[in-house]
Every structure is written in structure tokens, then in C-alpha cells.
Amino acid sequence: MSRPHSAADPAPVPLIALDRQHGPIAHEMQEAVARVFAENAFVLGDEVAALEAEIAELCDSREAIGCASGTDALVLSLMALDVGPGDEVITSPFTFFATAGAVHRVGATPVFVDVDPVTFNLDTDLVESALTDRTKAILPVHLFGQCTPMEQLWRLAVSNGVAVVEDACQAIGATYRGRRAGVLGALGCFSFFPTKNLGGAGDGGIITTDDRFLADRVRRLRVHGDAGGYHHVEVGLNSRLDALQAAVLRVKLRHLADWTIRRRENADRYGSLFRHYELDSAVVLPTIADECTHVFNQYVVRLAENHRDTVLSALRAENVGCAVYYPTPLHLQPCFAHLGQEAGSLPEAERASRQVLALPIHPDVTPFEQERVVRGVARALGHALPAPVHSPDDPGHLPFTRWAA
Ligand SMILES: *Cc1c(COP(=O)(O)O)cnc(C)c1O
């Protein structure tokens, strides 16, 4: 429903705008869906195999195995490595719940190590001291679309005989030293949740690996451990990717490189705008780390603790979408209280949870909307407002209507 907007009730600036993303490609997606109905093959099959090949090509991995969600990608990866009861998995406390939920789900114990305050990724300097003789895997999260620096993790993994599994759910296409997320560990886990950079029309996930044995095992585990002919050598899950999802994802994958470029351009534009409004000391902008490329699943700024919630409510009052990822670090979640990692034990993750704010960065946010976000922040912080730079019909470099023809 659209209604007239006024100064008191301005047009919304959405944090996520799937309507804008899907509008120009609706006919492509509908054709893809019709193709699946014409075949009447709905689970796994050719569409899924084709998507797996395309994702493997994108990530430069030998294998890719579709599954039901990013969470299941993590669970299946840990199962394929025989991570289970008695084992510890070192991971980040500053991530979506599923990262540690998957560790717990396979019966292992998450061991949270604090994050780097600049990138919000695992502080890899702290991992060595968390290793014990029970550590079975290290599970870095490439948060917000930027890879964890892997060098030290690789060295620790080799010298201690532990595996590295990447939670790359937010980082499809991101690189570290020129290599894609998903081939930086034994297994890489991706989510096709609709808000991810490559999102389906529902849940979905995929696992990438260069290891044929692990790939075969994951393929078996996703179908109840069926080695073929109803011969169950182990107990797995029902975690298969639907053909409808694969068909939609294959259409969207053709646009992913473009969308990623636009996310980066939008990040650059926020940088210019925050500097223009002289907010770059009050608002800490995202940093692109050495040897990394960023795919900006989220554009997360950091504000002083007493400012964050003020800005959050001011933006919401102006109909500007924003959100806190993540308000509670995982070691402080009630379900992990028994692990004994108390408040104060992981200060950077705890500080981040009080200071971060995600702003609209999706490929179709317009320069005018981005300036509304920045002006909203300026107003909330009591800064002077210079004349606007962008007008409502300023399309930016890449108008989101360009596929409409
Ligand atoms: C989205 C996400 C997941 C889980 O993916 P689902 O497909 O929702 O199960 C796991 N880890 C991170 C970091 C995520 O962002």
C-alpha cells in the first residue's frame, strides 16, 4: 500500500528491499519456476546440480553441495569432520546464533574467542591460547561480508591437527589474498536466506570444499546417510535443497556480481557522505582489512554507547530502516550460560554489541536515500545540516531500473 508522505511521515528507506531487487528480474524467475513445474522434479535433481556447479565455479572450489539452510551447512560440515560430544570448536561470539547453535547441535562445545574491534571478525591472535587437546575445529565467521584473516588460523590448524570450517554465510564472493570465501578452510558454509547477498525464495544453503572425501560424506549426510540403495552407513539428516530454490538462485546468481559492485559503490558513497557531513569522527565507518575484498552484506557503523540507541530511535522515527547485528554476544545467551563465559570475559564483542548499527546498503538503495540516512544520523547527533547533495531523482551510477527494458 502506498500513501502520501510528508515531513512528519516521510517515505520509508528500507533496510532490505527485495521488491526492488525482484521487480526487474521477476519474469526471469517466473520462467525458472515454470521450468521446475514442467519437470515436476522438486528435490535435488538437475537444477540443484547446475547450481552446485555454478557456485563451485564462483568460489573456485572443486565441489559444492546444496542443503536446506546455512545452519544445516554448518551442521553437515561439522558432522563430516566427526565433530561431536567431547569436542570443542573455537568460534566467534559476535555472529548470528546459528554459528554456535550448529556446534551445540552436533554435541560439541563452542569456545568463544573475542573479536577484533576494527573488523568484528575473530581476533586470530587470541585463538592459540584457546586451543586445548579437545579442540577439533576452528570456525571463523566472515562477518558482514569480509573474510577473517586466515593465515594464523591455517598455521594453528596444521600445527595442532584441527580443521578450519568457514561460516561464509554473509560473505559469498568476498576474497582473502585473492581467494574466495569458501575455499579458505576444509569446508565453507553459505546461506541462501533471502537477506543474504545471494538469497532464495525461502531457506537454502550450500557447502563448498576441495576435498572429495568430505564432499561425498556431506552428500551422503544430507540424505540420511544413504550411501545408495537405502544402505545407511551412518545417520545423517534430511537436508536437501529444493529445485525451486535452485532455479531461482541460478537466475539471481547471474546478477550477483553486479549487485556486489553496487553494494561496494553504496559503501563508498556513505563514506563520502559521512565525511561531507563531518560525521566521520562521531561515526566509525567500516574498514576494509588488508588483503580482503568486502561484499557488504551489512554496512555496520560504530557509535559511542550513549549515541547508538539515540540514533537508532531517531532513524526509525524518520522511517529509516536500521538494525543492531548483534545485540547480545553469544556467550551471554541464556542457552550458553552453562559454558561459564561471563559478562566482561569477551570485552570487544560486548562493546560491539552496544555500539554497532547496520544501515541500508542493499544494491537498490538510492543516493538520495543514503543521504537521508546520513542526515538522520547528523540530526540525531545535533550536527549542523548542510544543503543536500543528492536529489530524489538522482539515480546514482547504476539506476535500479536498468534491467526493466
Ligand atoms: C544467515 C547466517 C547463518 C544461518 O543461515 P540460515 O540459512 O539462516 O540457516 C549462519 N551464520 C551466519 C553468520 C549467518 O549470517
* Residue pLDDT, tens place only, 70-106: 999 999 999 999 999 999 999 999 999 999 999 999 9
Given this model, what pLDDT does residue 393 score? 83
Query: Taking a C-beta distance cutoff of 8 angstroms, is the pair 297, 147 a contact?
Result: no
Of ligand 1's listed atoms, the one at least distance from the Cα of 142 is 13
CA of 133 to the centre of ligand 1 (A): 28
CA 120, CA 101: separation in Å to the nearest integer? 19
Distances (CA, A) of 113 to 110, 141, 257, 326, 350: 10, 12, 33, 16, 12
CA-CA distance, 228 to 101, in Å (whole number)? 30
Task: Note the pTM of the prediction, 2 decimals.
Answer: 0.95
Beta carbon of 99 within 6 Å of any ligand 1 atom: yes
Measured in angstroms, how far is the CA atom of residue 102 from the centroid of ligand 1?
10
Distance from the alpha carbon of residue 129 to the mean position of ligand 1, in angstroms? 27
Cell for 104? 551445540
Mean pLDDT across 335-339: 97
Residue nearest to ligand 1 atom 6, measured at CA: 70
Q: Which class in CATH covers the domain with range 256-380?
A: alpha beta
CA atoms of 17 and 321, how far apart (whole Å) = 10
Q: Is the CB of 96 under 6 A from ligand 1?
A: yes
What residues does each domain of the chain span? 22-253, 256-380
- The predicted structure's pLDDT at residue 398: 46
Q: What is the pLDDT averaged over residues 349-360?
A: 98
Q: Is the pLDDT of residue 402 over 60?
A: no
Instruction: Establish whether residue 361 lines the binding site of ligand 1, counting it when its CB lies within 6 angstroms of any ligand atom.
Output: no
> Which pLDDT does position 1 carry in this prediction?
44
Give the integer Cα–Cα distance in Å for 12 and 136: 47
Q: Of the given ranges (8-12, 55-59, 119-123, 322-326), which has the lowest mean pLDDT?
A: 8-12
* pLDDT surpassing 50 at residue 160: yes
Residue 275 has pLDDT above 70, yes or no: yes
Instruction: Check whether 169 has a pLDDT greater than 60.
Output: yes
Ligand 1 neighbourhood includes 247 CB (under 6 angstroms): no
Looking at the predicted structure, is the pLDDT value of residue 404 above 50?
no
Q: What is the pLDDT of residue 381?
A: 97
Asked if pLDDT for residue 3 goes beyond 90, the answer is: no
- Percent of all residues in the chain with a pLDDT value above 70, rounded to a whole number: 95
Q: Tens digit of pLDDT for each residue in 112-150?
A: 999 999 999 999 999 999 999 999 999 999 999 999 999
Span 22-46, mean pLDDT? Answer: 95
Residue 405 has pLDDT above 70, yes or no: no
22-253 carries CATH number 3.40.640.10: yes
Same topology, domains 22-253 and 256-380? Answer is: no
What span, in angstroms and rounded, lies between the C-alpha atoms of 90 and 164?
10
Split at pLDDT 50, 70, 90, the class of 10 is: confident
Task: Please tell me the distance from the alpha carbon of residue 142 to that of residue 145, in angstroms, as a whole number.
Answer: 6
pLDDT tens readout for residues 176-189: 999 999 999 999 99
Ligand 1 within 6 A of CB of 259: no
Mean pLDDT of 241-248: 98
pLDDT at 81: 98
Give yes or no for residue 208 CB within 6 A of ligand 1: no
Measured between alpha carbons, how far is residue 101 from residues 63, 219, 348 in Å? Answer: 25, 22, 21
Q: Which atom of ligand 1 is nearest to the CA of 143?
A: 13
Ligand 1 geometric centre to CA of 298 (Å): 13
| Mean pLDDT of all residues belonging to the chain | 95
